[in-house]
Chain A
Amino acid sequence: DAGVIQSPRHEVTEMGQEVTLRCKPISGHDYLFWYRQTMMRGLELLIYFNNNVPIDDSGMPEDRFSAKMPNASFSTLKIQPSEPRDSAVYFCASSFGGALRGGGYTFGSGTRLTVV
């Protein structure tokens, strides 16, 4: 299994531009999570999906952020327009059955976003 795959690994963009981050979860996993890592707040949950349906998006910071999961093997996190304070590492994670027991989530390697 290739694990959770995120692309791109690095993204540098100018303020005001649209940014799209992509995630392919582990096949068979029914939960998908988007996290943001910053020094001040650690790993923050932005949104999570169960069977492709958004369950909780209360962590999405603003309307500039949106996430979709059109099918079980693909999700996107979009920021439009991007701002310098959005600069962070964005992680996607997936699990089976919520994985609220056992080993928790499997994380991707992250996308480092820099907005200049």
Chain B
Amino acid sequence: DQQVKQNSPSLSVQEGRISILNCDYTNSMFDYFLWYKKYPAEGPTFLISISSIKDKNEDGRFTVFLNKSAKHLSLHIVPSQPGDSAVYFCAASPGNQFYFGTGTSLTVIP
């Protein structure tokens, strides 16, 4: 059973606008969360992380928000750029391994 869910398989956004990617999880023991970005024919690469002791973490154009009560996290990309077009995976860990979602394919339209 999927413990980490990304319910939107795809998302299209105009260049310069905000991209919001969502992720839900079911296991209340998860205390560390990551976002990975994946280009075609490449492996996923680490993008940004957040610990459960925080509710927000920023790194340049990328911000991750964590709502523990709702078991929900989101990745905001502002402003979106064509080079951001990729598949984004969220991942969560209870301390021993990471569980990944199914990914959201983001297309940023120039």
Contacts and interface: CB of A to CB of B under 8 A. Distances in A.
Contacts of B97: 33, 45, 48, 56, 100
Interface stretch (B13-21, B35-43, B63-71, B76-84): B35-43
Interface of A: 4, 33, 35, 39-45, 48, 56, 91, 93, 98, 100-110
Nearest to A56: B97
B106 interface: no
B39 to A, nearest CB: 10
Q: Kindly state the interface size class of chain B when it binds its partner.
A: 20 to 34
Interface of B: 2, 4, 6, 32, 34, 36, 41-46, 49, 51, 89, 91, 93, 95-103
Contact of B102 (A40, A91, A98): A40
Taking each of B2, B6, B102, which has the highest tally of chain A beta carbons within 10 Å of its own beta carbon?
B102
A54 B89 CA distance: 25
